[in-house]
């Protein structure tokens, strides 16, 4: 196709996403959003280091947003072209490998979600406000970026919006200023973050503390006041979840944790770095979504701190988060993890056995069977290793790759150090075969998480 920027795909699951030739270290975003008209104006500064000499560089950016200016290292770009959701930039001069690549992009438009096999992801307009849920490829719906999980960077996000609304982004709130009818909120996310985990949440919200001031992690809620009573009941056990997961997984990886309850209903909750987003329907006053509360919290370790290098390994995010649901059930007086696992296997056995969890394919990477069978893989490993070795492994896994990238091979290699017997048969049967294997019997070394 004439004018298209061709390159070798970073990831076969999302061949159009991610870019070569540089490594981003920092995003600084200055955004202005008009709620009533759903209009976004942005100024994005991207700081990167080149990894090779190239005549041009590309970033991911939706065609819904129009670019008005591009600078490279402070100088107007020789030219730029915005086609096929790629902004391709040609510098005035070639930059040597290992050199600084500083991009300034001014843009504006009506942000829209990105449509794909997984539905619509990215910037979404709400009845009053907006939310961002970008997994796996929606970040480019609202800012120019290297939109792939193997690209993590620090962020400063400034969002200016209509004063009645609360605006939330990742990280710590480091500035807030109101001028007339507009308020600017500035957030700093120091820990490296994948672009799909960056988020903006705007709505008629109030912020309040969750749990006591003595909690090891500062936890807050951002929610409509009409839902506060329901929230106080439905999320009352979140501090206990946090304590359990710190015990089982190791220290919480970020400075704080915030739960957003939108005024609208959402089909599923959404994770972002340091933030989870639930719909009003998940806050029903009956704790009807408590397993999801555990699931989203666990993603802060597995998905946000430890982030997969390639989407084929999505089970490392979802299998751990699903297993955390079972651990919470076990610890809180519900069914044990072993009971949950055997019930899940029974249900899976009745479904088509035509998926390989370790490489499910792009259209099925969010299939519920990846979640459940990923969790079953972990339970089979726990039965093989025993509780002591299994949870030592999980804590070392979370500590060794904290704020980094992970692959299935790295996990299986590390697990091998905790077993006297080869684990290859376990991996082959649970991750690399379609037929569902049996779970081993419950051994004496596996007990309750209570």
- Asked if residue 438 is part of any domain, the answer here is no
Could you give the C-alpha distances from 295 to 210, 271, 303, 439, in angstroms and in order? 18, 9, 11, 23
Distance CA 169, CA 159 (A): 8
| Claim to verify: residue 319 and residue 397 sit in the same structural domain | yes
Domain count, the chain: 3
- Residue from 45, 136, 56, 140 nearest 95 by CA: 56
- Select from 339, 268, 310 the least CA-distant residue to 121: 268
Under a CB-based contact definition with an 8 Å cutoff, are residues 369 and 351 in contact? yes
Q: How far is CA 119 from CA 136, 230, 405, 406, in A?
A: 11, 29, 26, 26
Task: Write the secondary structure of 277-329 as one string of H (helix), E (strand) and C (coil).
Answer: EECHHHCCCCCCCHHHHHHHHHCCCECCCEEECCHHHCHHHHHHHHHHHHHHH
Residues 243 and 270 in one domain: yes
User: Which residues have CB under 8 Å from 34's CB, separation 6+?
Assistant: 40, 161, 162
Examine the domain organization and report whether 183 and 115 are in the same domain.
yes
Same domain, 187 and 67: yes
268 and 340 in a single domain? The answer is no
Domain region containing 424: 310-431
Task: Provide the sign of the torsion angle of the four alpha carbons 7, 11, 15, 21, taken in this order.
Answer: negative
**In angstroms, rounded to a whole number, what is the distance separating the alpha carbons of residues 51 and 279?**
42
CATH number of the domain enclosing 54 = 2.60.40.1730
- d(Cα 351, Cα 33) in Å, to the nearest integer? 45
| Model confidence, pTM | 0.96
> What is the reported pLDDT for 213?
83
- Give the pair of three-digit tokens for residue 215: 């909690």
Residue 192 shares a structural domain with residue 87 = yes
Tell me: do 141 and 84 sit in the same domain: yes
- H helix or E strand, kind and range, residue 44: strand 39-50
Domain check: are 271 and 408 in the same one?
A: no
What is the CATH classification number for the domain harbouring 261?
A: 3.30.2010.30
What pLDDT, on the 0 to 100 scale, is given for residue 444? 61
**Same domain, yes or no, for 70 and 160?**
yes
Q: Please list the rounded mean pLDDT of every run of 10 residues in the chain (450 residues).
A: 62 96 98 97 98 97 98 98 97 97 98 92 96 97 97 98 97 97 98 98 97 91 97 97 98 98 95 97 95 98 98 98 98 98 97 97 97 98 98 98 98 98 98 97 65
- Residue 441, in any domain of the structure: no
Residue at 168 is within a domain: yes
Note whether residue 127 is domain-resident.
Answer: yes
Where b means 16+ CB within 10 Å and e means fewer, 387-422 reads: bebbbebbbebbeebeeebbbbebbbebbeebbeee
Residues 70 and 164 in one domain: yes
Q: Do the beta carbons of residue 449 and residue 330 sit within 8 Å?
A: yes
């Amino acid at each position: 196709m004439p004018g298209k920027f061709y390159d070798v795909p970073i990831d076969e699951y999302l061949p159009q996403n991610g870019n070569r030739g540089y490594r981003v270290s920092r995003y600084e975003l200055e955004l202005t959003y008009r709620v009533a008209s759903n209009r976004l104006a942005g100024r994005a500064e991207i700081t990167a280091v080149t990894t090779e000499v190239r005549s041009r560089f590309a970033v991911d950016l939706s065609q819904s947003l129009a670019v008005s200016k591009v600078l490279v290292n402070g100088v107007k770009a020789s030219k730029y072209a915005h086609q096929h959701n790629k902004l391709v930039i040609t510098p005035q001069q070639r930059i040597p490998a290992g050199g600084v690549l500083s991009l300034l992009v001014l843009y504006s438009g009506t942000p829209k979600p990105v449509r794909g096999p997984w539905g619509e992801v990215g910037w979404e307009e709400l009845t009053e406000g907006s939310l961002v849920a970008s997994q796996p490829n929606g970040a480019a719906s609202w800012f120019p970026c290297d939109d792939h999980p193997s690209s993590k960077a620090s962020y400063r996000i400034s969002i200016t919006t209509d004063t009645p609304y609360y605006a939330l982004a990742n990280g710590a709130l480091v500035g807030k200023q109101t001028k007339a009818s507009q308020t600017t909120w500035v957030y700093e996310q120091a820990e490296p973050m994948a672009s799909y985990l960056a988020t903006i949440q705007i709505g008629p919200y109030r912020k309040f503390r969750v749990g006591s001031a003595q909690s090891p992690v500062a936890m807050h809620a951002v929610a409509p006041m009409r839902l506060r009573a329901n929230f106080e009941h439905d999320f009352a056990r979140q501090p206990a979840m946090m304590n359990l997961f710190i015990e089982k997984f190791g220290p919480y990886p970020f400075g704080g944790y915030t739960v957003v309850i939108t005024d609208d209903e959402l089909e599923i909750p959404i994770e972002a770095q340091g933030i989870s987003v639930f719909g009003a329907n998940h806050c029903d006053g009956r704790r009807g979504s408590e397993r999801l509360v555990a699931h989203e919290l666990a993603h802060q370790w597995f998905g946000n701190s430890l982030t997969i290098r390639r989407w084929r390994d999505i089970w490392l995010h979802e299998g751990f988060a699903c297993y955390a649901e079972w651990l919470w059930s076990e610890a809180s007086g519900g069914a044990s993890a072993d009971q949950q696992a055997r019930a899940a296997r029974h249900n899976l056995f009745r479904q088509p056995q035509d998926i390989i969890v370790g490489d499910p394919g792009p259209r099925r990477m969010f299939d519920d069977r990846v979640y459940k069978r990923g969790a079953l893989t972990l339970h089979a490993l726990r039965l093989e290793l025993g509780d002591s070795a299994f949870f030592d492994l999980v804590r070392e896994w979370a500590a060794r790759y904290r704020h980094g990238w992970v692959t299935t091979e790295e996990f299986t290699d590390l697990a091998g150090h905790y077993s006297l017997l080869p684990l290859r048969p376990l991996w082959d049967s649970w991750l690399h075969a379609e037929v569902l294997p049996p779970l081993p019997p419950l051994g004496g070394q596996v007990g309750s998480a209570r």
